[in-house]
Structure formats: C-alpha cells, structure tokens
Chain A
Amino acid sequence: MERPLTQHIRPDRSPLSISEYEKTGGYQAARKALKTMDPKSVTDTVINATLRGRGGAGFSTGRKWSFIPKDAPPQRYLVVNADEMEPGTFKDRLLLEGNPHQLIEGMIIAAFAIQADTAYIFLRRAYRLAAARLEKALAEARAAGYLGKNIFGSGRSLEIHVHMSAGRYICGEETALINALEGRRANPRSKPPFPQISGLFGKPTIVNNVETLCNVPHIIGKGVDWFKSLALTEDGGTKLYGASGKVKKPGLWELPLGTSAREILEEHAGGMRDGLKFKGLLPGGASTDFLVEKHLDLPMDFNALGAAGSRLGTGTMIVMDDRTCPVGFVHNLIRFFAQESCGWCTPCREGLPWVEKTLAAIEAGKGKDGDVEILEMHAKALGMGNTYCALAPGAMEPLASALLYFRDDFTRHIKEQGCPWR
C-alpha cells in the first residue's frame, strides 16, 4: 500500500530539511511542471486524476482552478487554507509539521497552473510549531531559488507569505478567509462572484486545503493512472483518515480513499476501549452527520457517505461510545457553532444560541415536552439554503442525525428530568 503524502514523515514528525526532501525526489515534479508543461496541461492532469478537495467540500481541484477566466488580468492569488479548526480534525497539522516542503512544492505547481505570482498560507494561530517549520522551509526554498524570481529558469515567479490567523472558525470558509486576509472581520461574502472571478483584493483567487495541495506534486510526478490506482473508489488518491474519542489507539493514517469506516475504526484505531460499545461516529469532523453500526461497512468516500446522508468532510472521525451521553455530545458541538457563528445572518446568529439553550436545558433535566420538536424545526430552518453560508447547516448535520438515530435518548432526558449518563 503506497502512502505518498506521509511515507517520508518521521514518527516524531521532525521536519525534512530541503536536502532531505530532495533526496526523496522532492521538487522534481515542480521542475517538470514549470519546465516541460503549460498551465493548462497541469490543470488537465489534476482534473483527470479526479483529485477532490480534502478540506471538506470535496470539489474537483482541477476544475476549481479552471474557473479562473481565460482573459483574467495577470494579478491572481493562490491561498492555502491551513486554518484547520473543525473540531475533531487534526490531519493538516501532520503535513505542515512533518513535511512543509511537500506543501510548498504543491503550491509552486498550483500557482503555475493558475498563473499566480503571489500566494498566502492562512495558518491557524494555535499551530505555532507548524508556523516555525513553514517559515524555515520557505527560507530554504527561497535560498535554493525555488521561490522568488524566475523559478527553475521558467520565467515564472512566486512569493509565499504566511498569515497567522487571529483565530475564528469561520475563517475556514473561503470567502470569510479572504476577508480575514484583507484585514477585515471574517464574515463570509455572497457568491457569486466566486473567488475564482473576484476574490482577494478583488482579483481571481484559488483557495485550496493543505492536504489537497500536498497531493499535487505526486500527481504531476507519477501520473493520473497511478494516482487513480491508489484509491478503492471512483475518486483518486489516498486520504488521511483519523479517529479520536474512546478508541484504543486514536491517531491518523494515510489509507486508500474509500477505506471502510469499520477498517479504520477496528483495525487502525484498535476498536473501542475495553468495556465500551460503539454507538455512533461523525465521519469527518463536527459538521457531519452521524453514522451508526449499519453504515460501518460503507467506503469512507465522497459519494458513498453522501448517499448515506452524511459527508466525508475532513475524513477524521469522532467516535461516540455507549457511555457518553449523545445529548451532551451534540450540546458540546452546538455550543461550539453558536460561539463561532460570525453573526452576519440572523438564522445562524439567533438560531444557534436557541438550539444551544434548548439542549442545555434538556441535558440539565429541565427539558419540556415539545423541545425535541423545537430542535427538529431548527434543524430544518437552519438547513442548507436558509443561511448566508454553510456554518449553520453544518451545525445542524450532527443535530438532525442525532435526532434520527438517538431520539429515544433525547426523550428519556425529558421524561426523567435529568441526564441518565451523569
């Protein structure tokens, strides 16, 4: 089993220097792209490789690049979304800390494909170690002539800047991220215009996730067929899958895209801790719908989880055991979303705190008849299409699915006027 993204990352995560990275074949793909390919053929290769965004939305990466208008002015921007703030998600940290040059190489190729000469890495402030290692790697790449003017003699230039986010979950939403990069409050912007047309400082802008871009050098280096052969499913590549919660071995593993939830949970995470039973899991971070026992043999990929009413999201699962209260679990999630709502649109700003208060009351034994129906009403009212961005709809995914699978646990709280788990 090949693990292109992580095979050279050391167990202690100490980062590869530029010479160590080059010994693994590093920067060869960037050379190949800039010296022997044109931007369109790079983009087409990434489209044909069926690389889909690894930040949560799963959009075709190459197609996103291709949306920059042919006649757009020369000033364009590439932005790396390294704001990993989705609760339960810790995958990009590994790539940033363990092999920063892999990301830089992916950026060089992506910037060439969209013909951008300026790129930003939007990094969450809690990732101090990643910031230090990125800055060091960027300095090494500059010194080697891989950044700056006339890279590999191709005539292309690229400057990369790191922006340390001041911290807000909504910054992960691409248009909010762009506002933050412009020094503003990170409210999302209305789309259209999409960032590919008018983004950072009004210029065409591509925002890609860290893991997404780390795949790019491997696609260019080894080709479309190889990349597609890595996966067990119709979309190509590997995926960083993770597991947290009361499993025996929480962690992160690079596996073929489409590995089953059961394999990740039982083989890689070692199953539940002794004395605990599996009750449910969120497959890809806090804003994904619960999966339960009957779903465990599904491939963890975009289409299969979509068909099961959930999403692959970030691919890092949060596991819930039978000794953890589902109401408390969902309450914690909603508290996060209510706190992190940017306040821009009314349903999210007003609705999420109301849901949070309702859940808090149920959990504290003060639930009333009709509370479950109030929660259900919100799950619809804050759903996709009713809010300015996807934050509130994402928050409703674990709530709506918990009401579907664990409804009895909610009603029991109300009937017994207390939490049976406490």
Chain B
Amino acid sequence: MTTALAIAAAPVPQAGVDLLRIVQINEEIKRVVGVSFKINIMALNAIFLAKRAGTAARGFGVLSNELRVFSQNLRCCMQTLTGLIHGCVNEVSLVLQDNRLARLLGETAKLAPQQATLAGVMARRSRQSEQHLEQLFRLRRQLERALEEVFQMVELGGVLAKSAKIEAAYGQSFAPSLAQVSGEFDGVVEEIRGSLESLRRSPFFAGNRDR
C-alpha cells in the first residue's frame, strides 16, 4: 500500500492495539527484571552458605556464582529489550500520528479536490508513513530475535539451577539447606521461562508475519 489514499483507508485502530500490546510486553519485562534481582540476592546467600558448608559444597558454590553471573547477564539483556520497546513505542506513536494526518489530509482532498499541491503533500506523507511502518517492522523483528536470545540464556539458567540441585545432594550435613536453595533457584528460573513464553506468544509479533 503506497498511495496516500490507501494509507488514509488503513485500519487506524491497529497502531492503538499495538501500543497496548507493547505496554503488556513492557510489564512482563519489568516482572522478569524484578525476578532477576531476586536471583542475584539468592545466589549471594547461596555462595555464603556454600562457604560455610566447605569442600562438600564447592561445586554448589561454583554454580551459585554462575547463577549470579546469569542474573547480571539477564538484566543486561532485559535492558536491551527495554531499549527496543522504547523504540517500538516511538514508532507506533509516529504511525498513530501518520494515521491521523493521513485521515485529515484525505478529508481535505475530498473537500478541496482542485488543490494540486495536496497530491504532492499526500504522496510525501505516504512515503514517510511507509518508512515508519518499515522501521516498526524492523524493530518488531529485532525484539523477537532479542527475546529468543534471552530465552536461550534462560535455558542455560535452568541447566545451572538443575545442576545446583544435584550438587546440593553432596552437601553432607548442609544438603537439606542447599536442596531448599537450589529448589528455589529452579522455581525462579521456571517463573522467568513462563514470562518469556508469554512474551513469545504476544500478538504484537503477529505484525511481523502479516507483512
């Protein structure tokens, strides 16, 4: 759809719906960031616990430290997602603005058909609008790819948590406490996985397949 009149006839509410979906994605991202802070604190406590347990929990200590690094990396990735989300909000806002301007220019063209300048203005607006839609499409894809990368990272986090569970069994007298902590790790990583799964299913990404 490249003509100005075609843009004017485009389904205006879509951008508004997109904005709502972006807000929902952002809320989920904030939830994951909150949980990643929780992992960091839990990992710190686990490291102290492993130190108290001594050589029997050395492996557990190493894994706890890895989980701490995982939490920091996860936060970095979520920052990238937040940056992309801000970019999406910006582009969707421009698309909303384009839609409004296209509607008003379309109405103007109907009322002042004799104005030759209108066609030029509408064609220019149409090109700009097309660029905004292209940019939004690109951002959607980037966001989808970045989300996939986070998902891979969380898979690794899951492996770490499960390995910690195994290591906990070797913790001798500390085994019950270490098992409890590693169980909590596993639960939290599952929580993140659930959030990411719901993000993956967001209808916002359907825009990538529509185009």
Q: Do A and B truly interact? A: no
* Interface residue ranges, B against A (CB under 8 Å): none
* Interface residue ranges, A against B (CB under 8 Å): none
